[in-house]
Structure 1
């Protein structure tokens, strides 16, 4: 495993003030709320320390999942910190507190879990999907993702029949770098899909996904 840390990262665990840039993905309708995505670059405190701690200390595991008639390997390593669990680095605890302070009035409930993915190289990936297991199937929610390590592309596309907002076009592509934050909200999980595609060359990357209760 090799990751070139940044020369400019701070070792302070407190994240930068939250002032994300919001992009509206699609407008709301009579029966469906609008979808949006927030982005703030370089937000997480001590990204080098968080990456190093998580790479070494998180109890990563591989999974296999049913895909039609066969079991396939999930192309990344996984671990989830459930409700009340101690997060592996104080900067992540600070991040969850800051996210709750900022988004609680809009979300209506706190982020309480942290799902973690370890992309070992460019062949690890996530296929197109929406986080619609649990309450996300029928209710608006938010997924707040902190990215650590090598840059990787987060691709978003509307589901069939969804009309993208003006200026978005048929899809959106975000390259997430070391310490960047992205938050998907509104009806995004039900009306849009997202993926982390494979790429020819990439070093290790870790993502931390903060979610509300019973959202998967």
Structure 2
């Protein structure tokens, strides 16, 4: 597994990992069609330490998918923890508890699963999509994304067009939560980049059945 060199942030030299509070530190931005995003910069203190632990300890796997008439490699490494599985680091359990405390009343349930993606360099990406398998395809839900490692752009645009893309540069412990109708009415992507960028891990917390 070849991964680009990781350069820690000068703003995150904490030796210990701490998941911050949410509350009034979260900034909500309303989108069209009943969607919204919440943003909490530097939510995880010591995020670079957590990045290195997950990079080294998670059993990352490469996957393939059929596209038209050929099988292609998915351009990132993956790991998935369902609601019965133990998360790979105590800090992720702490993050899930903070998310549940803040969002469960609005969401109507807690977050159940954690999907992890390792973007090894700028060639790794995820195409435009919404998490519309399961409940996300027919009712409002939330997907919370904590990003560790080098910042990369996460883009959002209305499904089917009708507006410019919105860009969020996320890394080193930032949190972005997509809520309301976002999975049904908007798409999101992490595009490839020719710029030299370091590796990145995103952790997606989702309610039961949302993929």
Q: Gaps (5+ residues) in structure 2?
A: none
**Alignment correspondent of 2:10:** 7
**Alignment correspondent of 2:156:** 156
CA drift at 1:52: 0.9
Match of 2:18, SS state, is: coil
How do 1:114-193 and structure 2 match up within 5 A? Answer: 114-160=114-160, 170-193=164-187
State how far apart, in whole Å, the 1-side matches of 2:180 and 2:36 are. 6
Match of 2:184, SS state, is: helix
How do 1:64-79 and structure 2 match up within 5 A? Answer: 64-79=64-79
TM-score normalised to the size of structure 2?
0.92
**Alignment correspondent of 1:208:** 203
**Alignment correspondent of 1:26:** 32
- Number of corresponding residues: 204
Q: Gaps (5+ residues) in structure 1?
A: 28-33, 163-168
State how far apart, in whole Å, the 2-side matches of 1:160 and 1:76 are. 25
CA drift at 1:111: 0.4
**Alignment correspondent of 1:165:** none
How do 1:105-116 and structure 2 match up within 5 A? Answer: 105-116=105-116
State how far apart, in whole Å, the 2-side matches of 1:90 and 1:111 are. 16
CA drift at 1:202: 1.2
Q: Mean Cα displacement is larger for which, 5-14 or 151-160?
A: 5-14
CA drift at 1:67: 1.0
**Alignment correspondent of 1:81:** 81
Match of 2:29, SS state, is: strand
RMSD over aligned CA atoms reads 1.4
Q: Deviations over 1:72-131 (max 9, x none)?
A: 110000000111322122211110000000000110010011000000000000000001
State how far apart, in whole Å, the 2-side matches of 1:153 and 1:143 are. 17
Match of 1:183, SS state, is: strand
State how far apart, in whole Å, the 1-side matches of 2:31 and 2:197 are. 28
2:189 paired with 1:195: yes
CA contact (8 A) 1:11 1:45 kept: no
TM-score normalised to the size of structure 1?
0.90
State how far apart, in whole Å, the 1-side matches of 2:192 and 2:108 are. 35
